[in-house]
Structure 1
């Protein structure tokens, strides 16, 4: 019997397990479906390039066929390892805009406005720039400038300024708008995942138990009270009881799946899957959304500062291996998406509605496709998509991946913004700082010039930038799943703590906000002891 059972060791679960176990009188068990985070591909930042091919670390899910993507299935990588997706992501530290959290609060979620959440960002953060009104300087999560920025990334920033955008030195400071180099979750040239930040130094606590290779099958319920979990490890199904709360931190795709497998969700869907309905909660799995994204790739034999497969590229990597091994410096400290920006798709927008990720390499098919030569890539995504989809069960077995439908471009406004976004992206890429390097845009995007052609390019090649949220939405309404304390409506002893609770997606990458959510959740839980 444990006081708390935490399901999932990702950006939220690692935080909760560490923070709750600070109290020596409280016992905590953390269950992770993946293995320990021992792979050098995790700790060496540039190992990211091979992550998409390493299904041992990655659930590598897919969406259902998307009509908005001309019938294609989208790719949904999720971390399957200690640290979850924070162990396989691009390590960008971005919080979004204060207005994002004001929206959360305005939906009836007291305590989730910007003034409420900023202290939790600061509590989590150890920024290499030091503490100030915007940043923390002593938290467990190390946030740093890139050690050795790639010259191409710096050229992108220069091109953005040439296109009329402000050079922003801190996307998490007073203003998000502009172009610049991203800060990353690195420490001394290594990835700083949530597991490394929060768990590594506290694994020896006698009141903290971390069990890996343990996939949770369902939450155990007595009536409408959560009393434990059932999980499988090494082919053996086991049960673990808890006396206080089960804390579901499996992410926006698997948290709603586990709720439904436990009998909590839309009754008609559960019944069709042969699952006994414990609590009819129609909003479970609804409101799924993500940042739709499309990428332009530029190729050129002379772009040898980029990562690429060539004789020069091999020499660069060999040099980088020695630099990283001997001092944690050099090109292997790159997160690839080194630069980017937050810009407006048109001047009348009140705030940035687009995000750019500039990648110092030719990235095709999410890195799953090996391509020869050198180049660079630039992504554009819309920050506040209106389209909403859902997560549903494919079967009543947790080992079967759920049906994921983000409904990309179901709302026409999303496509209109994306088309404008491609134009804005090209304006930057065509500036002298990059155009003078002589690269050529690959044909699949280069031939798309008119709005109609760009729309078809997006439908044929667009996908996600890996930020699913919203499927266990926080709020007081009939289609909301958790309250402002993150307690599941109508159920005792069960909370959801991860990106699935976001009432609306944040205007940026979701790792930092998810860590913030867990920091705040830990205090909410402690306040009720």
Structure 2
């Protein structure tokens, strides 16, 4: 079925890939990269050149007498990374660590391959910010006040707001300078240069239900909004672009540099053992070693180096430097229920954002080449956002996030998006296949603050072997209950008058594994959640920040690792609880604060 369309889609996307390489070879360069002249001693060694590591490297190197080394296991940002439209092809590419979770056998991920989930994490300079959907979002002010109540002293929203303002240059007219926003920071924030009329219908639907439509990053989050992105002049703008473009002689960046372990002298971190392009070497830090390897990389390296749960390290044959039971624990991730689809039909051709239509239109390429506008200047179909409260939450701290997409899981005939989500062949063919190459839209609810907790553990003491990731999705019953309510809200939005002028009709084919249940009932939606909920790719928490007397806390509120000296962790793994929204911007904020903490500790003011 649709074999000619699949052939055309694949041919067009491959031809476009070749065109991108030809057209954008000189659009952006990251400075400071000099992996062939690495010294053996620095003041600071930063492990991980991702979202947080790039910020830290750029900020610490502002101090002329600080000598800084940034080590990144991946390589350069290639041309495909630069075009926002291509984000769907970056996971499971050479720019991705290609992590896959352990199977979930507690009633989750039933409709996904082997009951597993992709956990794509960036393996390139810029990290996951170089392969994500580029969404700019701060989270809810209550998130940070709650962190402080959990023991992260000094992390209230009022403490964080100056750093959100410091990092951003925001350009939409309705976000112009006020006490909530910044206009001179390194991270550029824009509305997408292309969106469909269906996004406007989504915002209209929100108004129809009585919700506020406007800025969700100004301290009041509940309501509907067009999405904002870290995109500059039609290109992805990661923290590597923002913080590493200015070449500084005191900053070295080594790529293809895989750190195998932290070097300790007693309980003092003194350096790292690394492999740089096949050459093993030991590099020493006079002041600090800083881990910025992310939610998977940082706990992995900690345990490989002897910091973690004692019994587990001994089981792996690793000498214990310090017993830290919280390393790898407290793992959290936003889980989303995918698949609700509305078809708009031929009468509204072009109203939806079916990439199949745009990929075969030469004007798409011309618009991007000449003016950096059009579909290629925005992520595929990702256009709107809402935060709403179910009956389990209050309106000032909503428990459901809704992403609006002007496309749907069947838009490409099962050639790309199915694998992006890891939907099983059986479920795709039985449910989504009839929607192949049709116009339409989709929305999915996301649990903003999941109760379920997972863990990361070692599979081997070999640093080249990926750790085990067990997210334990839906292990807490509240997450399922919240998603059921979220699906009901999404269904009501999609069926609203705002979409009817496009002939929108809910794709009401019963999900085969749930066909014995009455559609629309709580039992049916629970079955849907069990089969079609998976990661929204915001994992955090595996090296929790908290009080020293909290046995599960790994780092202090200033990111110092408990039990050892001269070692910090600065990345999303330190979040005590996942924030309500996408996590990239909060991680940049955390790294901005960490840079000031570190400067204060090493400079005489």
TM-score, length-scaled by structure 2: 0.83
1:55-454 aligned within 5 A: 55-66=93-104, 67-69=106-108, 70=110, 72-128=115-171, 129-167=175-213, 169-200=214-245, 202=246, 204-295=247-338, 296-302=340-346, 303-308=349-354, 310=356, 312-316=357-361, 318-335=362-379, 336-346=381-391, 349-350=394-395, 351-363=397-409, 364-365=417-418, 367=420, 372-439=437-504, 440-441=506-507, 443=509, 448-454=519-525
Partner Cα separation in structure 1 for residue 313 and residue 130 of structure 2: 33
Q: Is the 8 A contact 1:163 1:431 kept in 2?
A: no
Task: Measure how far apart 1:76 and its partner are.
Answer: 0.6
- Report which stretch shifted further, 485-494 or 358-367: 358-367
Q: Is the 8 A contact 2:404 2:442 kept in 1?
A: yes
Per-residue deviation, residues 448-471 of structure 1 (Å, max 9, x unmatched): 421111111111111011100111
Q: Is the 8 A contact 1:444 1:457 kept in 2?
A: no
Task: Please give the secondary structure, in 1, of the residue aligned with 2:588.
Answer: helix
Q: Determine the structure 1 residue equivalent to 2:534.
A: 463
Partner Cα separation in structure 2 for residue 133 and residue 149 of structure 1: 29
**Is 1:48–2:87 an aligned residue pair?**
yes
Task: Measure how far apart 1:434 and its partner are.
Answer: 1.9
Q: Is the 8 A contact 2:358 2:375 kept in 1?
A: no
Partner Cα separation in structure 2 for residue 127 and residue 313 of structure 1: 28
Partner Cα separation in structure 2 for residue 199 and residue 100 of structure 1: 29
Q: Is the 8 A contact 2:254 2:276 kept in 1?
A: no
Partner Cα separation in structure 1 for residue 479 and residue 204 of structure 2: 28
Q: Is the 8 A contact 2:118 2:421 kept in 1?
A: no
Partner Cα separation in structure 1 for residue 298 and residue 531 of structure 2: 30
Partner Cα separation in structure 2 for residue 512 and residue 137 of structure 1: 15
Task: Please give the secondary structure, in 1, of the residue aligned with 2:229.
Answer: coil
Partner Cα separation in structure 2 for residue 444 and residue 251 of structure 1: 39
Structure 1 gap ranges (5+)? none
Task: Measure how far apart 1:345 and its partner are.
Answer: 1.5
- Report which stretch shifted further, 144-153 or 77-86: 144-153
Distance 1:142 1:314, change over 3 A: closer
Q: Is the 8 A contact 1:474 1:486 kept in 2?
A: yes
Distance 1:495 1:441, change over 3 A: same
Per-residue deviation, residues 86-111 of structure 1 (Å, max 9, x unmatched): 11111111111111111111122221
Task: Measure how far apart 1:195 and its partner are.
Answer: 0.6
Task: Measure how far apart 1:83 and its partner are.
Answer: 0.4
Q: Determine the structure 2 residue equivalent to 1:29.
A: 69
Q: Is the 8 A contact 1:162 1:428 kept in 2?
A: no
Task: Measure how far apart 1:219 and its partner are.
Answer: 1.1
Distance 1:194 1:348, change over 3 A: closer
Distance 1:60 1:379, change over 3 A: farther
Partner Cα separation in structure 2 for residue 428 and residue 366 of structure 1: 27
Q: Is the 8 A contact 1:11 1:515 kept in 2?
A: yes
Task: Measure how far apart 1:445 and its partner are.
Answer: 5.1
Task: Measure how far apart 1:235 and its partner are.
Answer: 2.8
Task: Please give the secondary structure, in 2, of the residue aligned with 1:365.
Answer: helix
Distance 1:443 1:309, change over 3 A: farther
In our comparison, the structure showing a higher alpha carbon Rg is 2
TM-score, length-scaled by structure 1: 0.95
Deviation beyond 6 Å, 4+ runs, structure 1: none
Task: Measure how far apart 1:346 and its partner are.
Answer: 2.5
Task: Please give the secondary structure, in 1, of the residue aligned with 2:115.
Answer: coil
Partner Cα separation in structure 2 for residue 517 and residue 472 of structure 1: 14
Q: Is the 8 A contact 2:222 2:388 kept in 1?
A: yes
Task: Please give the secondary structure, in 1, of the residue aligned with 2:330.
Answer: strand
Distance 1:96 1:429, change over 3 A: same
Name the count of aligned residue pairs: 522
Task: Measure how far apart 1:396 and its partner are.
Answer: 0.9
Task: Please give the secondary structure, in 2, of the residue aligned with 1:515.
Answer: helix
Per-residue deviation, residues 49-69 of structure 1 (Å, max 9, x unmatched): 22235x201112111111231
Task: Measure how far apart 1:444 and its partner are.
Answer: 5.6
Task: Measure how far apart 1:245 and its partner are.
Answer: 0.8
Partner Cα separation in structure 2 for residue 52 and residue 486 of structure 1: 29
Per-residue deviation, residues 408-459 of structure 1 (Å, max 9, x unmatched): 1111111100000000111101112224423442636596421111111111
Task: Measure how far apart 1:237 and its partner are.
Answer: 2.2
Task: Please give the secondary structure, in 2, of the residue aligned with 1:408.
Answer: coil
Distance 1:271 1:419, change over 3 A: same
Partner Cα separation in structure 1 for residue 365 and residue 421 of structure 2: 22
Per-residue deviation, residues 479-501 of structure 1 (Å, max 9, x unmatched): 10001110000111110000111
Q: Determine the structure 1 residue equivalent to 2:29.
A: none
Per-residue deviation, residues 251-308 of structure 1 (Å, max 9, x unmatched): 1111111100010000110111111111110000010001111122334543533343
Partner Cα separation in structure 2 for residue 191 and residue 372 of structure 1: 27
